[in-house]
Every structure is written in structure tokens, then in C-alpha cells.
Homo-oligomer: A and B are copies of this chain.
Amino acid sequence: MTEEVFSYERLTAFTRGIFRSIGCSEEDAHMAAKGLLSADIRGIDSHGIARLIGYVRLWEAGRANTSPHIRIIHETPSTAVVDGDSGLGLVVAPFAINTAIEKAKQAGTGWVSVQHSNHFGIAAHHALQAVEQDMIGIAMTNASPLVAPTFSTERLLGTNPICVAIPAGEEPPFVADMATTTAANGKLEILQRKNESAPAGWIQDKTGRVSTDPHELKHGGALLPLGGDKEHGSHKGYALGAIVDIFSAVLSGANYGPWVPPFPAFMAMPEQMPGKGIGHFFGAMRIDAFRPAEDFKKNMDKWIRRFRSARPMEGYEQVLVPGDPERIMESERLEKGIPLLNAVVKDLQALSDKFGIAL
């Protein structure tokens, strides 16, 4: 697990170059690179540049369209459905959250469900676009099935993350971005590389029994919904993942449940898919559609400070507010650079050689 450190700027420029090479416009390549690197900079290594080669393979397999005609196919004053035309989620999602923001300017809120898209990176990047406009931003996406509902031995849901980002005043925004599982798949990948066991409550084997083997998913096992088991509320995590699936895909006409197409291009597409591509859902709520933004922000500051100053358990310095860990990581990595595993650097080097873009 040796690492090499790269600057944010260098990785962004490289990523932009690769997206240009596979056919993205200058503007789309810029947007996609910024979106992808927002994961690395915030410490969500599983969703950042480590996936660049995966996006390229999707394009090579003809599953991602790098010059899509993204468009609104249905709308009301506060809603829209967007057809991503099989574009990169990193390009489709910015179109969709902007549509939600524009709707919110007129109607108070905007809600956009997206069909025919691909993986969009981290949800927080998109939700935060709304925060810049004094709005609450919401972003969610479905994903290919890795998660077993409570009592099920079949995988029927993705890790289906939800992000809610809320502006504050003097304090930085509240940003909750979470997979609806006990542990994100990225955490499992880290254990796999280290060959360490997973805590009980993260995964089950193919019969539904508790497992601590991080390789269990290769043998028919599944990730568990937030809660872990019924006694600890896994039916709630299952319900949250289901809500993300329905808002993202049943509302938009994308694929849902076990029919969501996989990210790895080498995996076969599901049979008899009921919709188009994968689905996302976005919301933007103008703060001043509820109360004056200054009143809201003053109270958000009070909320954040009260929680951050709560008496911590022994051994912990302080209680965190959602978004704190990623913000700390962001300032560290902007200064010191982004460490990449050698396996990731090797993938980037292969892309560099293939497209003649200097890393």
C-alpha cells in the first residue's frame, strides 16, 4: 500500500485531459474533472480519480456517451425530469442540479429526477452547488445492487447515497453525505487491500448469516443496510435505500432495484431492464422561501455551535457536525497534496500512455 502524492491542480488537469480525449467538450471535461476530484480532495478516495479508468472503460464499451444531448423531458414550475442521454453522471448531474436551482429561484424549490445517466461521483459535490446560492441542496443516486434488504439473501439495492447540504452564516455549511448502508463499499475495498476482517454488521454471506470476510460479496454475500440487522433497525436503512431508488429511478424512468446497470464495464448488463440507465434525484430549496436568510443563518450558526460544543465522551476531543471531517481533509490535501495508492497511479499511467496526456 505505498503511495505517491500529487497536487490537486495536477490531478485535475490530467483528468480534464483524459475526459477531453474520450470526446468531452472543453466545458464538460472541466466540469467532470472538478466533480471527480471533489471526492479525492474531501477524502472519499473510492469515488475520485481511482474511478477515472472505469469511466474510460464505460466509454470504450459504448455505455457512456461523451457528447450527450441532455434535456428536460417533462416539467412543472417546481419539478423536472431530465434525460441524461447516457452521458457521464459527472456531466448530467450538474445540468440537473442547475435545473433544480433555476426552478427554486422562481417557485421557491426545485426537484429534478434523472433517467438515462451514469455514476455521478460524490453526491455532496452536486448538493453544494445549491448552497452557493443560499439554498439547501439535496442529491441522491441509485447504483447497482450490492445491498440485501432486511431478511433477504438477494442483493436488490445499491449503496444509494443521500446528501443534504445546508448553508450556515459564519460557520461552514452542514453537509451530510452518506451511503444508506452501515459502511460504504469504499471502506470494504480498503479492508480487502489490507486483507483485514470487517466488523460484524457490515456484510452477510449468501445465506444471510453475519460475515466478517471483506471478500464475501464475490461469493454471493451482500452489504447490509444502515442498522445492520433487524434488532438494530436495518429495516430503516433498507427503507432509506429504497426511497433513494424510487425517487431516482421510478419517478424518472431509469432502472431500479436489481436492474440498475453495473459501473464496471466488464460486467454484463441486467436482462429485461425496465428503464433507461441509472437514476438520480436532486432538490434545491431557497432558504428565503421559508424565512429571511439572515435569520436562518444566525440560527444555523447557533445550532452548529451548540452541537460542536456538546460534552464529548472520554477519549474524544469534540462532537463533530456533518461535513467537519471532509472539510478538515480538504484543507489538508489542498496544502499537502492527494496521496494515491500505487495501484491507482499505475492505472493513471496506463491512461497517460494510451492518450498521450502527461500525468
Interfacial residues, chain A to chain B (CB-CB below 8 A)? 74-79, 81, 106-109, 111, 113, 149-154, 156, 164, 166, 174, 176, 178, 180-183, 199, 201-202, 207-208, 226-228, 231-233, 235-240, 242-243, 245-246, 250-253, 256-258, 274-275, 285-287, 289-291, 295-296, 299-300, 302-303, 306-307, 310-314, 316, 318-322
Contacts and interface: CB of A to CB of B under 8 A. Distances in A.
A244 B103 CA distance: 23
Given A107-B77, A319-B152, A226 B237 contact: yes
Nearest to A318: B151
Given A291-B253, A303-B246, A152 B109 contact: no
Contacts of A113: 290
Given A296-B250, A299-B250, A300-B246, A313 B151 contact: yes
24 contacts: A76-B289, A77-B78, A78-B78, A78-B108, A78-B109, A79-B108, A79-B109, A79-B285, A150-B320, A152-B311, A153-B312, A164-B239, A178-B233, A182-B233, A228-B228, A232-B232, A242-B307, A242-B322, A246-B300, A246-B303, A251-B290, A251-B296, A256-B299, A257-B307
A207 B312 CA distance: 9
B78 A310 contact: no
A164 B296 CA distance: 25
Max count, chain B CB within 10 A of own CB: residue among A77, A226, A320: A226
Most chain B beta-carbon contacts within 10 A, residue among A78, A152, A164, A178? A78
Contact of A253 (B178, B240, B295, B316): B295
**Copies assembled:** 2
Contacts of A289: 76, 78-79, 111
Contact of A306 (B156, B311, B313): B156
B290 A156 contact: no
Given A76-B109, A226-B236, 16 more contacts: A74-B291, A77-B107, A111-B285, A111-B289, A150-B320, A151-B320, A156-B310, A178-B239, A199-B232, A201-B232, A226-B226, A226-B237, A235-B322, A250-B300, A250-B303, A253-B299
Contacts of A166: 243, 246
Given A246-B166, A246-B174, A208 B314 contact: yes
Contacts of A256: 299, 303
Nearest to A163: B239
A104 to B, nearest CB: 8
B79 A106 contact: no
A240 to B, nearest CB: 8
Contacts of A285: 79, 111
